[in-house]
Amino acid sequence: MALVWLMVFLTSVSGLLQMEEDPNLLIKNLRMEPGERRLTWDLHGNVSEIMCFINSKLITKAIDNNRYCRFHVLPLCEVKNFTISLTKGPPFLMGIQYPLQEGNPGAAAQRLDCWVHDVDFLTCSWEVGREAPSDVQYRLYWQALRTHREQECPHYETDDRGKHVRCRFNDVSRLPKQLQILVRGTSHGARIPCLDRSVELSEIERLSPPNITAMCNKSYSMMEWKASSHVNLRFEYQLQIQKGSDPAYTEKLQENFFQIHNPGNYMARLKVKGFFRNTWSEWSAPQYFVCDLGEGSQWPNWLLTTLVLLGTLLVPGLAVVLCGRYSVLQKLFPPIPHMKDPITDNLEGSKLVAWEASRASREDCPVAEVQVLGET
């Protein structure tokens, strides 16, 4: 490779590494077309095959009769060497640098890291450049690879100097699955280079372990769970089970269920990763399942504590429900008013006077004595 590079004379012109072109060369005018994401050139003659490299790493082969190489993504900030070579014929190598370097690289943001978490959120963090001016400020954008559409971060976090160092997007389901993340810097007195990273959301997701539910008896236990994600559709699981005092064992699964025969009382916990991914989630919290409540079995302390707590909460709750129910019954079935008594009701509010037998009354009526002789 060193011998091949000796055949190429490189000069630095406006940030490009170019070869002093021989008029008889088959390939001339090597250039980048960012909008099409392709490295192209002028071809004069026939060649067997052209290979394209980024920083000496083979990326792809030329297409369209060896007219250009198309890349899935191009760097927007970090300068890289793009080179082409022939697979047959005399040794040949030609290269350029892309993109052009602007400003002091030491002022750019550093250590950009992004991850999807808690199902719905995308968070990115970075550090302030070591040589950044005191008035530097950074802003983060995502850019769709296909459409180049950009959107700035809606929620920033700052360090103790007021510099943006973290960003959060709240709804991952609305984002393209493949993104280019850019952190751009601004300053009144200097040009700040940007920092970029290409990400696939399914690869940077940190999954949360799902909760396990189980139905069981003495004969068997059926456990189920459901992993949640907007960017991963298939999952792999590791299920760890420990029966009583037996050693724990681990099952590797692709299904979201598992059955145990003669389970007794056992502990289970779970971790998950996306299918074809390398990063596992943390283990879930241990969950305990009591499937054998025979005469000789004892209930674990955590279950007894839970039952006592539920009972404590149930008593006041039941009292509230009964009181509410009595109030509702009163509203639905009000008491029936008593029937009106024409005699006693008319006397309400009347003044009572004591009767004096010795006192003659002006309205005394004559009284006749009646003698009963017998019954007929």
Q: Check residue 131 and give left, alpha or beta (phi > 0: left; psi -120 to 50: alpha).
A: alpha
Contacting residues for 63 by C-beta, under 8 A, at least 6 apart: 69, 70
Euclidean distance between the first and final Cα of the chain, in Å?
153
Q: Which residue has the tokens 């290409």?
A: 198
Domains of the chain plus CATH, in order, are 27-98 (2.60.40.3850), 105-203 (2.60.40.10), 212-290 (2.60.40.10)
pLDDT recorded at residue 214 = 95
Distance of alpha carbon 253 from alpha carbon 236, whole angstroms: 6
pLDDT recorded at residue 310 = 77
Distance of alpha carbon 66 from alpha carbon 84, whole angstroms: 11
pLDDT recorded at residue 17 = 44
Cα dihedral 304, 310, 311, 313, rounded to 10, equals 150
Q: Which residue has the tokens 């909008």?
A: 35
Residue 164 has φ and ψ, to the nearest 5°, of: -65, 125
Contacting residues for 101 by C-beta, under 8 A, at least 6 apart: 15, 79, 193
Contact 292, 264 (CB under 8 A): yes
Q: What angle do CA 295, 298, 302 make, to 5 degrees?
A: 145
Contact 235, 271 (CB under 8 A): no
Give the residues across from 273 on adjacent strands. Answer: 236
Contacting residues for 53 by C-beta, under 8 A, at least 6 apart: 59, 81, 82, 83, 84, 85
Contact 52, 62 (CB under 8 A): yes
pLDDT recorded at residue 375 = 55
pLDDT recorded at residue 308 = 62
Give the residues across from 250 on adjacent strands. Answer: 240
pLDDT recorded at residue 330 = 63
The model's pLDDT over 94-107, given as tens digits with 9 standing for 90+, comes to 999 999 888 899 99
pLDDT recorded at residue 153 = 96
Other CB atoms within a 10 A radius of the CB of residue 177 amount to: 14
- Which residues of the chain fall below pLDDT 70? 1-23, 293-308, 317, 319-376
pLDDT recorded at residue 14 = 34
> Could you give the count of Cα atoms lying within 13 Å of 329 in the half-sphere of its Cβ?
6
Question: For 102-186, where are the E strands, in sequence order?
Answer: 110-117, 121-127, 137-144, 150-152, 155-158, 164-169, 178-186
Contacting residues for 271 by C-beta, under 8 A, at least 6 apart: 209, 237, 238, 280, 281, 282, 283, 284
pLDDT recorded at residue 332 = 58
pLDDT recorded at residue 13 = 34
What sign results for the dihedral spanned by CA atoms 195, 201, 204, 205?
positive
The model's pLDDT over 176-202, given as tens digits with 9 standing for 90+, comes to 999 999 999 999 989 999 999 999 999
